[in-house]
Amino acid sequence: MPPFILVDGSYYLFRAFHALPPLTTSQGQTTNAIKGALSALQKLMRRMQPTHMAVIFDTPEPTFRHMLSPEYKAHRP
C-alpha cells in the first residue's frame, strides 16, 4: 500500500530559501523558496507515490516546546 506522507513544510521552505540562488518575478517578488519547496515535494511524490500527503507548517506562536526549553528554535528567524 502506498504511504500517507506528512511533510514539514517549514523545513522545505527554509531549506529552499537559503540553498537556492535568488529568483524573483518581474515585480521583484522573491520566489526561490516556493519554487524550491514545490520542486522537492514533487520529487518526493514521484519517489514515494503516496495515496495522500499533508504539508504542515510551524505556528508563529510559542508552543509547549518553547515552555519546556527556551533554547527550542531560539536561533531561527
pLDDT tens-digit readout, 8-66 = 999 999 999 999 999 999 999 999 999 999 999 999 999 999 999 999 998 888 888 87
Number of C-beta neighbours around residue 44 at 10 A: 15
Q: How many domains does the chain have?
A: 1
pLDDT of residue 33: 95
Task: With respect to residue 77, please indicate whether it lies within any of the assigned structural domains.
Answer: no
CATH of the domain at 62: 3.40.50.1010
Bridge partner residues of 7 (DSSP): 55
Domain coverage including residue 29: 4-68
Residue 56 to residue 42: CA distance in whole angstroms: 16
Q: What is the DSSP letter of 51?
A: S
Please give the backbone phi and psi of residue 57, each rounded to the nearest 5 degrees, phi first: -130, 150
Residue 27 to residue 4: CA distance in whole angstroms: 38
